[in-house]
Protein backbone atom coordinates (compact mmCIF):
# COMPACT_ATOMS: atom_id res chain seq x y z
CA UNK A 1 0.00 0.00 0.00
CA UNK A 2 2.85 2.40 0.82
CA UNK A 3 4.36 1.71 -2.59
CA UNK A 4 1.06 2.55 -4.27
CA UNK A 5 0.83 5.83 -2.36
CA UNK A 6 4.43 6.69 -3.30
CA UNK A 7 3.74 5.88 -6.94
CA UNK A 8 0.58 8.01 -6.92
CA UNK A 9 2.55 10.89 -5.36
CA UNK A 10 5.28 10.60 -7.98
CA UNK A 11 2.68 10.35 -10.74
CA UNK A 12 0.86 13.50 -9.73
CA UNK A 13 4.08 15.41 -9.02
CA UNK A 14 5.31 14.53 -12.48
CA UNK A 15 2.08 15.55 -14.17
CA UNK A 16 1.84 18.83 -12.31
CA UNK A 17 5.47 19.82 -12.79
CA UNK A 18 5.88 18.76 -16.40
CA UNK A 19 6.45 21.08 -19.28
CA UNK A 20 5.76 20.72 -23.00
CA UNK A 21 9.42 19.94 -23.55
CA UNK A 22 10.49 16.41 -22.64
CA UNK A 23 12.20 16.20 -19.28
CA UNK A 24 13.57 12.70 -18.96
CA UNK A 25 13.73 12.85 -15.16
CA UNK A 26 10.00 12.20 -15.11
CA UNK A 27 10.15 9.48 -17.73
CA UNK A 28 12.94 7.84 -15.74
CA UNK A 29 10.96 7.96 -12.50
CA UNK A 30 7.97 6.42 -14.26
CA UNK A 31 10.07 3.70 -15.91
CA UNK A 32 11.72 2.75 -12.63
CA UNK A 33 8.35 2.67 -10.85
CA UNK A 34 6.81 0.54 -13.60
CA UNK A 35 9.21 -2.22 -12.47
CA UNK A 36 7.33 -2.36 -9.16
CA UNK A 37 3.93 -2.88 -10.77
CA UNK A 38 4.73 -5.32 -13.56
CA UNK A 39 5.70 -8.95 -13.09
CA UNK A 40 7.98 -10.72 -15.55
CA UNK A 41 7.81 -14.50 -16.11
CA UNK A 42 9.75 -16.67 -13.63
CA UNK A 43 12.45 -17.47 -16.22
CA UNK A 44 13.32 -13.76 -16.42
CA UNK A 45 13.67 -13.04 -12.72
CA UNK A 46 17.35 -13.86 -12.40
CA UNK A 47 20.55 -12.21 -13.64
CA UNK A 48 20.59 -8.49 -14.33
CA UNK A 49 17.37 -6.59 -14.96
CA UNK A 50 18.11 -4.73 -18.19
CA UNK A 51 16.49 -1.44 -19.12
CA UNK A 52 17.41 -0.60 -22.68
CA UNK A 53 17.18 2.63 -24.64
CA UNK A 54 17.06 2.43 -28.41
CA UNK A 55 18.89 5.01 -30.49
CA UNK A 56 19.87 8.54 -29.59
CA UNK A 57 18.64 8.72 -26.01
CA UNK A 58 21.71 9.92 -24.13
CA UNK A 59 19.66 12.17 -21.82
CA UNK A 60 17.36 9.40 -20.66
CA UNK A 61 20.23 6.92 -20.32
CA UNK A 62 21.92 9.37 -17.97
CA UNK A 63 18.73 9.96 -15.95
CA UNK A 64 17.85 6.27 -15.78
CA UNK A 65 21.37 5.43 -14.63
CA UNK A 66 21.12 8.01 -11.83
CA UNK A 67 17.68 6.90 -10.68
CA UNK A 68 18.39 3.18 -10.78
CA UNK A 69 21.87 3.31 -9.21
CA UNK A 70 22.05 0.68 -6.47
CA UNK A 71 18.42 -0.32 -7.08
CA UNK A 72 17.02 -3.75 -7.79
CA UNK A 73 13.93 -5.41 -9.18
CA UNK A 74 13.44 -8.23 -6.71
CA UNK A 75 16.91 -9.71 -6.44
CA UNK A 76 18.01 -8.45 -9.85
CA UNK A 77 20.45 -5.56 -10.17
CA UNK A 78 19.21 -2.93 -12.64
CA UNK A 79 21.52 -2.25 -15.59
CA UNK A 80 20.82 0.50 -18.14
CA UNK A 81 22.06 -0.10 -21.69
CA UNK A 82 21.93 1.91 -24.89
CA UNK A 83 21.25 0.05 -28.14
CA UNK A 84 21.90 1.30 -31.66
CA UNK A 85 19.52 -1.09 -33.41
CA UNK A 86 16.48 -3.26 -32.81
CA UNK A 87 18.58 -6.38 -33.34
CA UNK A 88 20.78 -5.51 -30.33
CA UNK A 89 17.81 -4.94 -28.02
CA UNK A 90 16.55 -8.52 -27.81
CA UNK A 91 17.72 -9.29 -24.29
CA UNK A 92 16.18 -6.58 -22.15
CA UNK A 93 13.26 -6.47 -19.75
CA UNK A 94 12.24 -2.92 -20.67
CA UNK A 95 13.02 -1.14 -23.92
CA UNK A 96 12.40 2.59 -24.13
CA UNK A 97 12.12 4.03 -27.63
CA UNK A 98 12.45 7.84 -27.63
CA UNK A 99 10.39 9.70 -30.22
CA UNK A 100 13.57 10.22 -32.25
CA UNK A 101 13.85 6.43 -32.64
CA UNK A 102 10.18 5.71 -33.23
CA UNK A 103 10.82 5.06 -36.93
CA UNK A 104 12.32 1.74 -35.70
CA UNK A 105 9.13 0.72 -33.87
CA UNK A 106 7.95 -1.87 -36.41
CA UNK A 107 11.39 -3.54 -36.47
CA UNK A 108 11.49 -3.61 -32.68
CA UNK A 109 8.01 -5.05 -32.48
CA UNK A 110 8.94 -7.82 -34.92
CA UNK A 111 12.20 -8.61 -33.10
CA UNK A 112 10.57 -8.75 -29.66
CA UNK A 113 7.31 -10.47 -30.59
CA UNK A 114 6.47 -13.01 -27.90
CA UNK A 115 9.44 -12.03 -25.70
CA UNK A 116 8.88 -10.73 -22.16
CA UNK A 117 9.99 -7.19 -22.93
CA UNK A 118 7.98 -4.15 -21.96
CA UNK A 119 8.20 -1.71 -24.86
CA UNK A 120 7.80 1.90 -23.74
CA UNK A 121 7.42 4.72 -26.26
CA UNK A 122 6.65 8.43 -26.33
CA UNK A 123 4.98 9.09 -29.66
CA UNK A 124 1.27 9.45 -30.26
CA UNK A 125 -0.34 6.35 -31.74
CA UNK A 126 2.32 3.82 -30.74
CA UNK A 127 0.28 2.32 -27.90
CA UNK A 128 -2.40 1.49 -30.45
CA UNK A 129 0.27 -0.11 -32.66
CA UNK A 130 1.49 -2.40 -29.86
CA UNK A 131 3.68 -0.51 -27.41
CA UNK A 132 3.00 -1.73 -23.86
CA UNK A 133 3.24 1.78 -22.41
CA UNK A 134 3.30 5.09 -24.25
CA UNK A 135 4.00 8.47 -22.63
CA UNK A 136 1.64 11.20 -23.79
CA UNK A 137 1.41 14.89 -23.05
CA UNK A 138 -2.16 15.92 -22.23
CA UNK A 139 -3.04 19.40 -21.01
CA UNK A 140 0.68 20.06 -20.55
CA UNK A 141 0.96 17.08 -18.17
CA UNK A 142 2.80 13.81 -18.71
CA UNK A 143 0.56 10.75 -18.55
CA UNK A 144 0.85 7.24 -19.91
CA UNK A 145 -1.24 4.92 -22.00
CA UNK A 146 -1.30 1.21 -21.25
CA UNK A 147 -1.95 -1.42 -23.89
CA UNK A 148 -2.87 -4.44 -21.74
CA UNK A 149 -3.22 -6.72 -24.75
CA UNK A 150 0.38 -5.97 -25.75
CA UNK A 151 1.73 -6.55 -22.24
CA UNK A 152 -0.19 -9.81 -21.90
CA UNK A 153 1.06 -10.99 -25.31
CA UNK A 154 4.58 -10.44 -23.97
CA UNK A 155 3.85 -12.61 -20.93
CA UNK A 156 3.87 -9.67 -18.50
CA UNK A 157 1.39 -9.21 -15.65
CA UNK A 158 0.36 -5.65 -14.88
CA UNK A 159 -0.94 -4.79 -11.41
CA UNK A 160 -4.38 -3.36 -10.95
CA UNK A 161 -2.88 -0.22 -9.36
CA UNK A 162 -0.93 0.58 -12.51
CA UNK A 163 -3.92 -0.19 -14.71
CA UNK A 164 -6.03 2.27 -12.72
CA UNK A 165 -3.48 5.06 -13.22
CA UNK A 166 -3.11 4.53 -16.95
CA UNK A 167 -5.08 5.69 -19.93
CA UNK A 168 -6.45 2.44 -21.34
CA UNK A 169 -5.83 1.73 -25.00
User: Domain containing 112 — which CATH number?
Assistant: 3.40.50.2300
Q: Which pLDDT belongs to residue 3?
A: 58
Q: Which pLDDT belongs to residue 2?
A: 54
Query: How many separate domains does the chain show?
Result: 1
Which structural domain range is residue 122 located in?
Answer: 2-168
Q: Which pLDDT belongs to residue 93?
A: 96
Q: Which pLDDT belongs to residue 22?
A: 62
Q: Which pLDDT belongs to residue 10?
A: 52
Exposure b/e, 8-21, CB count within 10 A at least 16 = b? eeebeebbeebeee
Report residues of the chain scoring pLDDT below 70.
1-22
Q: Which pLDDT belongs to residue 11?
A: 53
Q: Which pLDDT belongs to residue 15?
A: 47
Amino acid sequence: MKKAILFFALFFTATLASQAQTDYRFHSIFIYNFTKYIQWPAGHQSGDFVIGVLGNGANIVEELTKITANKTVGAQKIVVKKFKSAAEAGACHILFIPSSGSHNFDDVQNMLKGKPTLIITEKSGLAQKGSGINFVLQDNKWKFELNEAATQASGLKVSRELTQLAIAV
